[in-house]
Amino acid sequence: MASLEELKRLPDLPPVPHATYLLDYLFDVGPTMASTTGASGVSYAELLAWQDAMGLELAPWELQFLRRLSIEYLA
C-alpha cells in the first residue's frame, strides 16, 4: 500500500490541455475496485488488463494519472 507521501507526489505530467478523455477511461475501467477491506483504488494490474481488453496502449504517465484519479475518487 502506498504511503501518504507517495500519494501526495504527483507524477511528472506533460502539458495536456485536453486530457478529459482520461476521465472517460477512469469511469470505463471503474473508478474503484473491491478489496478484502472494502473499496480501493484501481490497481496497475487492473489498468493493464483493461487497456489490453480495449486495444489501447496508454503512456506510463496516463496510467499513473488514472491510478491517482482513482485514489482521489475514493478520498
**pTM, to two decimals:** 0.73
Name the pLDDT band for 9 (thresholds 50, 70, 90). low
Average pLDDT over residues 53-60: 96
Per-residue model confidence as pLDDT tens digits over 16-41: 667 789 989 999 998 999 988 889 99
Write the CB contacts of 35 (distance below 8 Å, at least 6 apart in sequence).
none
Is residue 64 a contact partner of residue 11, using CB atoms and an 8 Å limit? yes
What pLDDT score was predicted for residue 49?
96
Query: Given phi > 0 = left and psi -120 to 50 = alpha, else beta, which region is 55?
Result: left
Residue 42 has pLDDT above 90, yes or no: yes
